[in-house]
Amino acid sequence: MEQTLFLARGLGTALATGQAPASIAAPVFHQRDESERAMNKDQVKGRVEEAVGKVKEVAGKATGSTSTEVKGTAQKVAGKTQAAYGDAKDKAQKPG
């Protein structure tokens, strides 16, 4: 995605300035450092669960359904807990 955006911006610049688009043919790859590691499964599942819980909570408030609101709040808290576990697991696996 990042590479596509770079190419699109480069092409737009090339077209606007009248330069040949050959200058944008080489893609630029972004090297990840340790702080940009991919999220582990617990982090992803927890964040998704948290978002779904928030949607249910808001839907419960909007419709006046206390049970949906409470279920959403509980799901949101469970998601935060799972994400925090994933964060701790990730931190424990980092070298140093």
Question: Distance between CA atoms of 80 and 37, rounded to whole angstroms?
Answer: 20
Question: Distance between CA atoms of 11 and 14, rounded to whole angstroms?
Answer: 5
Closest CA to 72 of 86, 48, 51: 51
Query: For residue 38, what pLDDT is reported?
Result: 85
Tens-of-pLDDT digits for all 96 residues of the chain? 444 444 445 545 555 556 555 555 556 666 666 556 688 999 999 999 999 999 999 999 999 999 999 999 999 999 999 999 999 999 998 876
| Distances in whole angstroms, Cα of residue 22 to Cα of each of 12, 52, 54, 70, 91 | 12, 45, 47, 58, 43
Query: For residue 94, what pLDDT is reported?
Result: 81
> What is the token pair recorded at 10?
């480069």
